Amino acid sequence: MSLKSFAAKIFAKRIAKKNQKWVKNPIRAQEKVFKELISSAEQTQFGKDHDFGNITSHTDFTQKVPVRDYEELKGYVQKIFDGQQDVLWPGKPIYFAKTSGTTSGAKYIPITKASIKHQVEASRNAILNYIHETGNADFVDGKMIFLQGSPILEEKNGIKLGRLSGISAHYVPNYLQKNRLPSWETNCIEDWETKVDKIVEETENENMTVIAGIPSWVQMYFEKLNAKSGKKVGELFKEFQLFIYGGVNYEPYRAKFENLIGRKVDSIELFPASEGFFAYQDSQKEKGMLLLLDSGIFYEFIKADEFFSENAKRLTLIDVELDVDYAMVISTNAGLWGYNLGDTVRFVSKEPYKIIVSGRIKHFISAFGEHVIAKEVEEALKLAVEQTDALVNEFTVAPQTNPGDGELPYHEWFIEFEKQPSDPSKFSQIIDESMQKQNSYYYDLIVGNILQPLKIVSIKPGGFQDYMKTIGKLGGQNKVQRLSNDRKVAEGLQAFKI
């Protein structure tokens, strides 16, 4: 055992012990965060506009601070852009994380000195928790790669702007700098395909032990490694031990990854966003991610099926139930207040509080009242892959409301196969039966002859990457939208059908 790995184990034990203080007292931890947030922001413009001085309870907060999305908070963000201080949080943010908006182009999410500290600590603690649980620290001696956006930042009125992953690149601790790949110069390449080719060149002969990134873009890296070397990733990197990912559900990719790697490796799921770092996988044996309750974020939850109702109830941690989908609403030490994150989560444990990400509150299919969410389609596809010989690279689902020729409407699945199923009808049947079992509304529509069973459209190899390129969202933090309630993504994929 090297000195470095020995030290990592000691540090991991210390952090694990420290975290138990809030893990074992979750409600108290959230109450403390709530009070600190309100007190800190009382004299900001937002705090004065919303009477923070008279907020003493969550009930007060819900009466004075409505749930907002980015568009409704944009006026305050613009004031910060214009150079004003003490708007959403005392002083000025040190960064704006640029991310893709759904309705009006780019969003600029404030990041403060306090919030970036928690982001960095959460990333570190996820790895330390893994070391503490498994006793495996050998990987700290090898090379690590984090596929991320360019670290080159712009600046406006003293505030730096960039992608979250690019901002995070400035916070890699010194003790990891020698282990970190790719080089700074390669990381600064903007064109994603050029960047990945250069990363392959820099890493193919290195002792890679940890690889991290969004699965769809790591897959692209693995495929290029495989094509250039003619070897499985696990053979090329004999000490590759740990895959760290976030942003999308890994399960639809798992079979393909294990095929590309040639063996199984441990993985850690993270739940980071520009708005905050919310949870990480704390166990290799148990399902779900540990919700971080002591990281400057106060959480509220609204039942997903009630979210668009007037006066939908905003719940705190103590009120949540297991196996219910909730829209997650956050208030943070970056100055986001009653902010609709857009993600839906489902609690799989309350001792401790652990979640899975089940989808997006705006990404669903309910063209016929079926209320289908991402978790359901991902589970159905996973089952079909497990029970057949198919391998899937990428997919998305959209409703076909007007098929013509007297046909009943249906759900259209656009799938890019690494390996086509030898029995396509069985593959489709497994997915459709799983959807009916998971979603009673979908079942009723099929049985009632309102919908016909789903249909699959095969997309050519590399088609999803080509599609993402056409819309300017190749690589980085960009992800393929799993579900659409319209035909926009479906129409964009028509050019890439087999």
SS3 labels along the chain:
CCHHHHHHHHHHHHHHHHHHHHHCCHHHHHHHHHHHHHHHCCCCHHHHHCCHHHCCCHHHHHHHCCCECHHHHHHHHHHHHCCCCCCCCCCCCCEEEEEECCCCCEEEEEECHHHHHHHHHHHHHHHHHHHHHHCCCHHHHCEEEECCCCCCCEEECCEEEECHHHHHHHHCCHHHHCCEECCHHHHCCCCHHHHHHHHHHHHCCCCEEEEECCHHHHHHHHHHHHHHHCCCHHHHCCCCCEEEEECCCCHHHHHHHHHHHCCCCEEEEEEEECCEEEEEECCCCCCCEEECCCCCEEEEEEEHHHCCCCCCCCECHHHCCECCEEEEEEEECCCCCCEEEEEEEEEEEECCEEEEEEEECCECECCCCCCECHHHHHHHHHHHHHHCCCEEEEEEEEEECCCCCCCCCEEEEEEEEEECCCCHHHHHHHHHHHHHHHCHHHHHHHHCCCCCCCEEEEECCCHHHHHHHHCCCCCCCCCCCCECCCCHHHHHCHHHEC
Give yes or no for residue 102 having a pLDDT over 70.
no
Task: Name residue 104's amino acid.
Answer: S
Tokens of 216: 């769809």
Lowest mean pLDDT among 99-103, 160-164, 339-343, 469-473: 99-103
CB atoms within 10 A of CB 497: 11
Hey, which residues does 243 pair with through a beta bridge?
211, 267
> In this structure, which topology does domain 374-496 adopt according to CATH?
GMP Synthetase; Chain A, domain 3 (3.30.300)
Q: What is the distance between the alpha carbons of residues 397 and 374, in angstroms, rounded to a whole number?
A: 9
* Interaxial angle between packed helices 251-261 and 215-229, expressed in degrees from 0 to 180 and rounded to the nearest 10: 20
CB atoms within 10 A of CB 449: 8
Task: Name residue 146's amino acid.
Answer: F
Tokens of 38: 């309100």
- pLDDT score, position 248: 72
| Strands 339-350 and 353-360, bridge-based pairing | antiparallel
Q: pLDDT class for 175, splitting at 50, 70, 90? A: low
Give yes or no for residue 310 having a pLDDT over 90.
no
Q: What is the dihedral of CA 376, 382, 387, 391, to 10 degrees?
A: 140
pLDDT digits (tens, 9 = 90+) for 437-486: 988 889 888 987 889 999 999 999 999 999 998 888 777 667 788 888 88
Q: What is the dihedral of CA 205, 207, 212, 214, to 10 degrees?
A: 30
- pLDDT score, position 476: 63
The mean pLDDT value for 414-432 works out to 94
Percent of the chain clearing pLDDT 70 (strictly above) = 98
pLDDT digits (tens, 9 = 90+) for 362-406: 777 877 878 788 888 999 999 999 999 999 999 999 999 888 888
- Please list, residue by residue across 127-165, b when 16 or more beta carbons sit within 10 angstroms of its beta carbon and e when fewer do: bbbbbbeeebbbbbbbbbbbbbbbbebeeeeebbbbbbb
Q: What is the distance between the alpha carbons of residues 70 and 274, in angstroms, rounded to a whole number?
A: 12
- pLDDT score, position 215: 83
> In this structure, which topology does domain 1-361 adopt according to CATH?
Rossmann fold (3.40.50)
Q: Which of 337, 60, 338, 318 is nearest to 327 (CA)?
A: 338
Angle in degrees, CA 217, 143, 465, rounded to 5: 10
The mean pLDDT value for 170-192 works out to 82
**Inter-residue contact 449 to 410 (CB < 8 Å):** no
The mean pLDDT value for 144-152 works out to 85
Tokens of 393: 């690279």
Hey, which residues does 154 pair with through a beta bridge?
161
Q: What is the distance between the alpha carbons of residues 304 and 67, in angstroms, rounded to a whole number?
A: 14
Q: Which of 362, 344, 330, 336 is nearest to 74 (CA)?
A: 336
Within 8 A by CB and 6+ apart from 35, the residues are none
- pLDDT score, position 100: 63
Identify the top-confidence range among 44-58, 244-258, 301-315, 471-485: 44-58
The mean pLDDT value for 214-228 works out to 87
Tokens of 124: 């570190």
Q: Is the peptide bond before 182 cis (omega within 30 degrees of 0)?
A: yes
- pLDDT score, position 103: 41
Angle in degrees, CA 192, 197, 203, rounded to 5: 120
pLDDT digits (tens, 9 = 90+) for 17-57: 999 999 999 999 999 999 999 999 999 999 999 999 999 99
CB atoms within 10 A of CB 242: 20
- pLDDT score, position 348: 96
Q: What is the dihedral of CA 69, 72, 77, 78, to 10 degrees?
A: 140
Q: pLDDT class for 142, splitting at 50, 70, 90? A: very high
Q: pLDDT class for 424, splitting at 50, 70, 90? A: very high
CB atoms within 10 A of CB 283: 15
Q: What is the distance between the alpha carbons of residues 477 and 270, in angstroms, rounded to a whole number?
A: 13
The domain limits of the chain are 1-361, 374-496
The mean pLDDT value for 303-328 works out to 91
Q: What is the distance between the alpha carbons of residues 98 and 152, in angstroms, rounded to a whole number?
A: 12
pLDDT digits (tens, 9 = 90+) for 64-93: 999 998 889 999 999 999 999 999 999 999
Using the structure block, give the residue that is written with the tokens 């400035």: 170
Tokens of 266: 């441990």
Mean pLDDT of the chain: 90
**Inter-residue contact 50 to 318 (CB < 8 Å):** no
Within 8 A by CB and 6+ apart from 267, the residues are 242, 243, 244, 245, 250, 281
